[in-house]
A and B are shown apart, each in its own frame.
Chain A
């Protein structure tokens, strides 16, 4: 699939009128004018910042928003047609900066998506100020001392709890995508943290999503035509956090994700490359931090759970601070919003259910009981997910470190990012042991498929 997407708002009228690439763009994006087809509401974030966003910070948000909306708008093909060719035309305030970091941005987006992106930067026609609002914060003793991303999931909640229990004052930044189930989890997590640490937690939600409610909205794919893989969400998350940190003069940005999903090994060869997400991979974080450095920003994104499994995060950080019920109110499901419960069949649901049990928490109810009774689901994607997870578990437990490097060359990308491969392999082995033990203790049917080791 090849497509050109233009961020139409902000482009100079002369470019809109004369540049054939803009006129012929497959999709035009706009989140500011009356014909907007997306929403980007920064009001809450800006109210919690002691200084207005700089033009470069506004550019970061615009670029991340445009790439996020583009990723959703352009569908992938099947199998060998999975990789897309996408040109994005962007209106920015600092063309000089974006042209100088264009290669790094390209590499970051390519690492996340596996796609062939091209970016063309145009100077904005005028300064956009629709998101401006007066700040109600000034630096005081109880001002935030770091920024932490909060997704509504388990790992990001653990990141916030870790900081709050350590006496830190995080500015907790959330992205609202419009998904009601995720929003409910985010609202619950926010209430939970505010209830326990009201004096030291500050929250900002940023709503960035397609928006076709207005009759005059520019065309954009309807929900059932949108690409579901969503590989660039973390670029948007990191951008919002880095912008918040920079405006407040903070250096630390926390993005909590367990080491297994961070290493992002493909469960099978069939899932290699961009078929497996790399949302919080150290290479991605390094590339993003490189952009911040180029921007002259002090903030750096870090993942405190790089060498921990999800069960360890739950057991060591969440359990001492929160009740099982509170922990269960988070959402991990990849399909969430398509039903009134988490699906139970996607990879995040499988990993969550196993991690909860491995951490000694009660089992949860899901829309499908894939672990309890897998064979009726044979032939479905959910069954494939389970089989591939079991296969991966057996591989990690059965092979030496050398053999794992040969089986999963993607481990080498960790070395390239300066991360200890042997420590990551040790984390993967502990996780595989957790999966094995939970499956063999609680779920006889998948244990039979695993052929107990």
Chain B
């Protein structure tokens, strides 16, 4: 009953320049990312910070605030029958919350789907901290995740989100074409392809850390106190700034 659909990048000279790199052994991930960003048309760049993406960022920030206020265990009580260790349950609850909003507002999109995964990755990373996501206690997860709002560092949490979002989005662009090159001299096995994807992911997460959104901290703090529709509306310009600035940094200053 189940299956999945595979799609490829459009046939344009810009995307052909990206694919040239897959014919080379170990292409530099920064170069791959840079060429992909150059290949993106204006509509696609715009879509990368649409309402669904903003909703994922919103849930992340709201979650930090809610967990800081209520404590993780109480926060999770609203989300039965969620099961699993505290961080898993937290990430599942936030994912579910985002999908609920996106469904009701009818703003689902391809980049929204990727942003929901980015939200999950961000929560798993920041709430687990050094302890490991299956081992960390509810109290420690609470402290790790709630500190962003307690320490007035929602801008830092946003940077974490964007770094995971770029990881997901760029791996999406690479992996939809990569299988055509597996078995070639440059990428003889699926492991070679995986290594390239890992390198791209690492490059995106590391490079996006250069983003500095501290000038938006007050706006972020104010936004999370609004009702949900107003929150998403208030966050949209910051999502746009984050994605635009991040793409420029990842592309090497385009």
- A residues near B (Cβ < 8 Å) are 78-83, 85, 103, 106-107, 110-111, 114-118, 151, 153, 155, 229, 233-234, 257, 261-262, 264, 266-280, 334, 346-348, 374-375, 378-379, 381, 383-385, 387-388, 390-391, 394-395, 401-402, 405-406, 409-410, 412-413, 415-422, 448-451
CB closest chain-B residue, reference A237: B1
Cβ A347 vs Cβ B190 within 8 A: no
> Which residue of the partner chain, among A103, A117, A383, contacts B179 with CB atoms under 8 Å?
A383
Contact flag A261-B2 (CB < 8 Å), given A80-B110, A106-B104: yes
A275 to B91, CA, bound (A): 22
Q: A271-B4, A450-B190 are in contact. List 16 more A-B contacts (CB 8 A).
A: A80-B111, A106-B103, A116-B107, A269-B168, A271-B6, A272-B172, A273-B113, A276-B3, A280-B1, A348-B2, A348-B3, A383-B179, A394-B191, A415-B92, A421-B83, A449-B182
B1-44 near A? 1/0 per residue, CB < 8 Å: 11111110110000000000000000000000000000000011
CB closest chain-A residue, reference B96: A416
- Across-interface contacts of B6 in A (CB, < 8 A): 270-271, 275, 381, 384-385, 388
B128-149 near A? 1/0 per residue, CB < 8 Å: 0000111000000000000000
Cβ A79 vs Cβ B9 within 8 A: yes
- Across-interface contacts of B80 in A (CB, < 8 A): 418
> Which residue of the partner chain, among B4, B9, B88, contacts A266 with CB atoms under 8 Å?
B4
A390 to B190, CA, bound (A): 7
- Sampled A-B contacts (12; CB under 8 Å): A80-B47, A80-B109, A118-B106, A151-B1, A270-B176, A276-B4, A387-B190, A390-B190, A394-B190, A416-B96, A421-B83, A451-B189
- B residues near A (Cβ < 8 Å) are 1-7, 9-10, 43-44, 47, 79-84, 88-89, 91-93, 95-96, 99-100, 102-104, 106-114, 116-117, 120-121, 124-125, 132-134, 168, 171-172, 175-176, 179-180, 182-183, 188-191, 193-194, 197
- Across-interface contacts of B100 in A (CB, < 8 A): 107
Cβ B120 vs Cβ A347 within 8 A: no
Write the nearest CB–CB distance from A300 to chain B, whole angstroms: 14
Contact flag A409-B91 (CB < 8 Å), given A264-B2, A269-B171, A449-B183: yes
Cβ A271 vs Cβ B182 within 8 A: no
- Across-interface contacts of B3 in A (CB, < 8 A): 276-277, 334, 346-348
Cβ A275 vs Cβ B7 within 8 A: yes
CB closest chain-B residue, reference A378: B183
Contact flag A268-B133 (CB < 8 Å), given A83-B109, A421-B84: no
Contact flag A421-B88 (CB < 8 Å), given A271-B4, A272-B172: yes
> Which residue of the partner chain, among A117, A118, A451, contacts B191 with CB atoms under 8 Å?
A451
CB closest chain-A residue, reference B97: A416
A106 to B102, CA, bound (A): 11
- Across-interface contacts of A275 in B (CB, < 8 A): 4-7
> Which residue of the partner chain, among B1, B117, B134, B191, contacts A257 with CB atoms under 8 Å?
B1
- Across-interface contacts of A449 in B (CB, < 8 A): 182-183, 188-190
A261 to B3, CA, bound (A): 8
In this complex, the member of B4, B111, B194 whose beta carbon has the largest number of chain A beta carbons within 10 angstroms is B4
- Across-interface contacts of B110 in A (CB, < 8 A): 79-83, 273
Write the nearest CB–CB distance from B33 to chain A, whole angstroms: 14
- Top 5 A-B pairs, shortest CB-CB distance: A273-B113, A418-B81, A409-B120, A261-B2, A270-B176
Cβ B189 vs Cβ A114 within 8 A: no
- Across-interface contacts of A347 in B (CB, < 8 A): 2-4
> Which residue of the partner chain, among B106, B168, B179, contacts A388 with CB atoms under 8 Å?
B179
- Across-interface contacts of A391 in B (CB, < 8 A): 179, 190, 193-194
- Across-interface contacts of A387 in B (CB, < 8 A): 179, 182-183, 190, 193
Cβ B2 vs Cβ A279 within 8 A: yes
> Which residue of the partner chain, among B99, B102, B189, contacts A448 with CB atoms under 8 Å?
B189
Cβ B2 vs Cβ A450 within 8 A: no
A179 to B237, CA, bound (A): 49
- Across-interface contacts of B172 in A (CB, < 8 A): 269-270, 272
Cβ A79 vs Cβ B82 within 8 A: no
Cβ B113 vs Cβ A272 within 8 A: yes
Cβ B111 vs Cβ A415 within 8 A: no
Write the nearest CB–CB distance from A68 to chain B, whole angstroms: 14
CB closest chain-A residue, reference B5: A275
CB closest chain-A residue, reference B119: A409
Cβ A270 vs Cβ B175 within 8 A: yes
Cβ B108 vs Cβ A257 within 8 A: no
Write the nearest CB–CB distance from A11 to chain B, whole angstroms: 23
> Which residue of the partner chain, among B103, B114, B121, B194, contacts A107 with CB atoms under 8 Å?
B103
Write the nearest CB–CB distance from A269 to chain B, whole angstroms: 4
- Across-interface contacts of A81 in B (CB, < 8 A): 110
- Across-interface contacts of A379 in B (CB, < 8 A): 180
A117 to B108, CA, bound (A): 10
Cβ A420 vs Cβ B83 within 8 A: yes
A155 to B1, CA, bound (A): 9
CB closest chain-B residue, reference A149: B1
- Across-interface contacts of B92 in A (CB, < 8 A): 412-413, 415-416
Cβ A417 vs Cβ B2 within 8 A: no
A110 to B99, CA, bound (A): 9
Cβ B99 vs Cβ A268 within 8 A: no
